[in-house]
Structure 1
Amino acid sequence: MNIDAKGRIAIPKKYRDYLQDEHESTLYVSFDTANECLNIYPQKQWLQFEAKLMSLPNTNPTIRKMQRLMIGRVNEQILDIQGRINVGPQHIERMGFSKEVILVGQGKRFELWDKAIWDQDGEESLNAEELQQLGELLPDFSF
C-alpha cells in the first residue's frame, strides 16, 4: 500500500462497512510507544483505550509522557468517500515513512509500518529468552 502525496492511505474495503456501521467511519492515528509504527484505532476502541490511559495516575512522569505522546498527538480522521484517511504529516515525518507502507490488523486496531522496517522486522524471530518470558506470561497458551 502507498501513502499518497497528500499523506493518505486507503483502508481495505473489507473493513470499511464495519468501520462505517460500528465506528461512524472515525479512526484515530496515534504513536506506538514501543515500536516503529503508528496505531490506528476505530472510534469505540480508541475511546475505551483513552479512558483507560487517562485513568492512570498522571503524577507519574512516565505515564504523563505516554499520555502526551499517545493522546496529545492523536490524529482523528473520518474515512472519505473513497475509504481513505490522512495519516498526518507530523506522524509521517516523525516515523520517517517512505511512500510504501504496510497496514497490519491487530485485533481491535491496525498498525501502520514503513514497508522496509516491516520487512526487516519480519525476518527476525523471538529468541530463547523472549520465548521463555512468553511462556511465563502465557502459561496456558501454546504456540
Structure 2
Amino acid sequence: MFRGSSSHTLDNKGRFSIPARFKEDIRASGSDALMISSLDGCLVAYPLEEWFKIEEHILSLSEKSESMRRFRRLFVGGAHECPCDKQGRVLIPPDLRSKAALEKEIMLVGVLNHFEIWSQGKYAEEVEKMEIDLQQAEVRNEIAKLRL
C-alpha cells in the first residue's frame, strides 16, 4: 500500500526517482512499470496489477452514459505505461506533465492502491482546500465514518 508524501524533483528529461517505500509495492505487483493517467489536476500512478483491476471494473459497468464514455476515453485513453529504469526512475511523458502542470518540483502522495503526482504548488492548494473543507460539518461527518 502506498502511504505518505514526499517532495521530489523532475530532471531535465521529465524523470523522477521512485522512493524506496514505493518501489516495494510496485515490484510486489510483478512488474517494474506503472500506468499513469491524469485525474483531478494531478497524475495517478498505478502498479500494472492494480491498473488491470480498474480496467476490468470499468468494462463490467453497465453504465453507458455519454459522460462515462468520455471519462473512459480520457482516463484510459490518456494513460501511459511507464517503466522504471535501472536507477529506479520513471519518465513522465510530456503530455501528462503538461496536463498536471508539472515542472521541476513535484509531490508524490500515497493513496493506498496508487500514488498521485502533483506539482508542489497545486498540492499546496489542495491541502488548503481540505483544511477549509474540514470546517464543514458534512465533511467532518463523512470523515467520522472512517472511525479515525
TM-score by length of 1: 0.86
- The one-letter code matched in structure 1 to 2:103 is S
Residue 55 of structure 1: aligned partner? 60
User: Out of 7, 23, 28, which is 2:14 matched to?
Assistant: 7
1:97 is displaced (CA, Å) by 1.4
Pick aligned residue for 2:138 from 122, 126, 132: 132
Aligned length: 139
> Tell me, which stretches of 5 or more residues in structure 1 are unaligned?
none
1:142 alignment counterpart: 147
1:79 CA drift (Å) = 0.9
* Structure 2 residue 61 is the aligned partner of structure 1 residue 71: no
Structure 2's unaligned 5+ residue stretches are: 1-7
> What is the alpha-carbon distance in structure 2 between the residues aligned to residue 134 and residue 107 of structure 1?
21
- Amino acid of the structure 1 residue aligned with 2:138: Q
The alignment's C-alpha RMSD in Å is 2.0
- C-alpha contact (below 8 Å) 1:3/1:101 kept by paired residues: yes
In the other structure, the counterpart of 2:110 is 105
SS in 2 for 1:97: coil
Q: Is 1:86 aligned to 2:91, yes or no?
A: yes
Give the residue type in structure 1 aligned to 2:71: M
2:102 & 2:144 partners in 1: Cα distance? 37
The alignment status of 1:23 with 2:36, answered yes or no, reads: no
Decide whether the 8 Å contact of 2:41 with 2:99 is kept in 1. no
Q: Among all aligned residue pairs of Structure 1 and Structure 2, give the percentage whose two residues are the same amino acid.
A: 25
SS of equivalent residue, structure 2 residue 72: helix
Question: Which residue matches 1:121?
Answer: 126
